[in-house]
Chain A
Amino acid sequence: MSNFQKQREQQFEEDLEKFIIYFTGFGSSQKNFEIAHKYASSNLKYHTFLDPDAHQIEAKFQDILIKLQVMSRPDTADYLNTLFQELKKRKLKQDYNDIPHRILGLLLLLSSNLIEHNLNREPNKNILKRKQQDNMSISSIESLKDWKFETSSEEEDEEENKQEDIQINQRNENVREIQQKAQQNQNLISSKDQLPNVLWHMSFNTKKSFNEFVSSNDSFIQIRSSQLFLSENQNKSQEILKKPRIINMITNEKDVVIAVLYSFLGLQSELLTFSSGQYQLTDFDVRHMSHDSLLSSTQKFLEYATIVCHLKKPLNMIQKPSLLNIEILIQEQFWLGVRSILSEFDQAVTYLLEQSIYDEKLCQQKVDRSITLMYLGQSLQDWFVIIKQINLVAQKISTIEANNGTFNSPTLTILYNLCIQNSLQPQHNQVYLQKLFLYALEPYIKLLDKYLDYNSTITDTFENLPIFLQSCSVQLKNIGQAFQIFQKVGLPALKQIQFKKNLIMRLCEVSDTSPTKSIQTSLQYCTLSGGYKFHEPFTLTKLKKDDIKIQENESYSIKNIKNPNLIKVFQKEIVKLIKKEDQNIQNILLDYLNNHLQFIKLHKYLRCLFFFERVDLMQQFIEQIAESQSLARLRAIQNTIQDLLGKNFNFNNAYELQPQLICQQNSQFLLSHKSVNFKIFLPHPIDLIINENSLILYNKIMQFLLFFKNSKLHLQQSQVNLKKRFKNQLSKFLHFGNQLTHFITNYEYFLFISIIQVQTDLFLDKVNKSLSFQEIINNHNLYLKTISDKMFLNQKSESILEAIYKVIDIVQNYPMLIERVTTLDLVDQITKNIENMRIESEFTKMKDSFNQQISALILLFDHYTQRFTHAPEIIECILKVNFNQFYK
């Protein structure tokens, strides 16, 4: 060892002693001092750190400075930087070039708020390996790995105990780990008991393994396939077997079936609710599904059902006492599920029909039945496919058990049988199957009703259906059961329609000489089958018992009912039916009544029309009667009309009774502009656009414009008269008149061109570009609102409107003044002079007030434009009105 090294060593030892004394406080005589000394010495001498890199330290230091600046401490950063720069200038030992950086590096490492940073590169592994050759160093390092300060003997014992405890705990943990692993291994091996869980999860995830599982007959293979599945999903194997709630709830095969069903249908949320025990198969909620998703889910359901049939075999593996009832359970569940789906089908189809009604309204006059049929046809075709699938599944279920016909749903059995039979013609087959399918379930009574109504006229209802039924009777008889079903369900539907018609006829007191023979035939048909039920509380069966004796050969005539109370009941029932917004019945009634006016009591017909709010028909009817000039008829209906339309109604007004305009005034059309209101009966769907609120706005706008135009008209007339009669005289009146005209014409331009024309163009442009009905409605509302706002007809601009009205009042009063002037020649001189004076004073007042009002108005407009900069029209108006800056 050289002197330099010796000196170094000596210096190091001295520094080290001081280091330990200053940092620990131990005296050199203490044992802990020696321990600390050893530790420090070995770690300082035999470390694996590389020499510090000055550039990295510098970079780190700069980062620290930036951090300080970011922490809004720029002064500190500057101060630190200056300190470091100063440190660099200081004279330090020159053994190393980068002593300041080393010191800085040490400080950064000892700093408590800085991010950890390796000032050096990581030690090279090769160097480490070389260093391992130095066993002494390594042993010394290793021996001091678990170094600790020595405590007293008691403390030593406690520490030993603690160490022992720690060791024991560690051993226990190891044992636990081993046990867990063993458990895991056990769990990974799927047993028969685990099959439902695996099955459930397989259905969730992989169809492949599931199909393998299903297709195999051997239980061993099934277990293997499940094992394979688990091994493939090793990461998730714990999850699979530890699945909470759902698997725990699956306690029997039925639950497995249901769980897999839900998983197939993708009804995860329903599955969870099922697992909570609050759900049954029939309750699975398809209400929120769209028509397409409902169809797809039912198809999936049916696919699943076929799989369920296959599943029966694997389920046999599970030895449980309820095994024998599984098939029945499956079937029950299946059919319950089918029924629930089909109940939702009812809602879906009725919704479609409602849509078709809506479409009908859009078409106004022509009932576009093709749309209805399209809706019906489409939906029915889709569901026809599903019915076929149901039948296929039913077949499969039946073949497994070799029990044909043991279904809970006889109708579907019939359908299934019908599908097999090829004797029927294809068109009839489809229609008939559709009808049977509809008849088989109760909600389809309504559907039949609507279907027939859409698909036929009144006569068709009563002619074609019996004929159709007669033609099908042969086929019906062949099947037998189906006919019984039809009798049970289909006939009542037909009878309901007839019942309604009969009530209408009773109301109108149709005579025996009715031309419609088909009605009679259908009545005969109905009577043959006996009394019929009505879904309302009132039933004619009661009637049958009490009042009427029906004979088979006689036609059934409601006229024979003489009991007035029953008549009232009939009337009430018909009102009820009508008020159910059954537009079809309305149309049928009106068509019928229109065709049989000669047989109907006129006043009752009018009441019906009024009830249906068909003012157009009322008007037609009244015109007809007026034209006929039949006093008797007029007397017959006059009272009714007066009751309905008011006592002031005269036949002179009959021709004025336009459905487009009903005047609130009795005789004169325009008493004042504010009393004029337009009431429009618009056909659907325009009444959605021009609704009551928009009518109110329209009336407001129109009233104002009418007033304005009226004033302008009067003004123009007065100016013309003045010019004609007094050509060059009365120039001041003319001049003032010109002023008024100037204002009126410019304000007219403002109203009609700048506001209305522009907004109308914008509105029409938007309407052309709009993609939805709602958009049109919104644009229309905006259009009206913009106009009323710009014309100051809204509540906020009342002051401006008042000012405008004041000006226009002057414009209105001016013609009256001119009239007085023009009639001056007609009076004597004295009155003329007096009148002249009065006129002069009034004229000056008028002129002054006009100037004032206009100035005030212009000021208001100015103020308005300053507040609302998007009012260029007003600015233009002001410029034009006050072009010579006259009104200030």
Chain B
Amino acid sequence: MSANQNNSSNFKSQLKVSISQEKEEAQETLEIIHEMSQILNCGLDRQQLAVLVSMIENGVNPEALALVVNEMKTELNTYKKIHKQ
């Protein structure tokens, strides 16, 4: 029993380590993507980028996504203008 408990605890710890490593790697990847977006002047923050990257990883077409993003931005601007008036 103790060996199994040891094994399970080891596994859990390994799992935790791997999860943390994955998180770190994901964060680093997001950082890289954020840097690239900053250089290319996309006007996106980390949260927005994370969502977009997630959507692309899930198979969303980047062109369609870009179109939606641009449309959302323009409509939001007009909506804000109307509200201000």
Contact = CB atoms under 8 A, between A and B. Distances in A.
Nearest to A119: B63
A795 interface: no
Contacts of B57: 92-93, 95-96, 99
Interface of B: 25, 28-29, 32-33, 35-37, 39-44, 47-48, 51-73, 75-76, 78-79, 82-83
A102 interface: yes
Given A43-B64, A106-B62, A99 B76 contact: no
B67 to A, nearest CB: 7
B68 to A, nearest CB: 5
Contacts of A96: 57, 59
Interface string A90-117: 1111011001001111111111111000
A44 B40 contact: no
- A-B pairs with lowest CB-CB distance, top 8: A109-B66, A106-B62, A47-B64, A111-B40, A93-B57, A110-B42, A49-B63, A90-B29
Contacts of B59: 8, 95-96
B72 A36 contact: yes
Interface stretch (A148-156, A178-186, A225-233, A375-383): A148-156
B46 to A, nearest CB: 10
Given A44-B61, A80-B36, A102 B56 contact: yes
A106 B28 contact: no
Interface-centre pick from A20, A22, A76, A114 (highest chain B CB count, 10 A)? A22
B72 A40 contact: yes
Given A8-B58, A49-B61, A107-B42, A24 B72 contact: yes
A23 interface: yes
B39 A79 contact: yes
B61 A103 contact: no
Given A51-B61, A83-B36, A112-B41, A103 B53 contact: yes
Interface residues of A, number: 56
A120 B55 contact: no
A90 B64 contact: no
8 contacts: A20-B72, A87-B32, A91-B29, A103-B33, A104-B36, A106-B56, A106-B62, A107-B40
Contact of B58 (A15, A40, A108): A15
B72 to A, nearest CB: 5
Given A92-B29, A96-B59, A111-B42, A106 B65 contact: yes
Interface-centre pick from A15, A51, A96, A114 (highest chain B CB count, 10 A)? A15
Contacts of A95: 57-59
Given A12-B58, A36-B72, A86-B32, A80 B39 contact: yes
A20 B75 CA distance: 12
B29 A87 contact: yes
A102 B39 CA distance: 17
Interface string A19-43: 1101111000000100010011001
B51 A83 contact: no
A43 B65 CA distance: 8
Given A15-B54, A44-B65, A151-B82, A114 B60 contact: no
A614 interface: no
A763 interface: no
Given A15-B55, A79-B39, A24 B76 contact: yes
A596 interface: no
B52 A19 contact: yes
B9 to A, nearest CB: 27
A486 interface: no
A110 B43 contact: yes
Interface in A248-281: none
A111 B62 CA distance: 13
B37 A107 contact: yes
A87 B36 contact: yes
B56 A103 contact: yes
Nearest to B60: A44
A36 B79 CA distance: 12
Contacts of B68: 39-40, 43-44
A446 to B, nearest CB: 84
Contacts of B76: 23-25, 149
Contacts of A869: none
B1 to A, nearest CB: 35
B40 A114 contact: yes
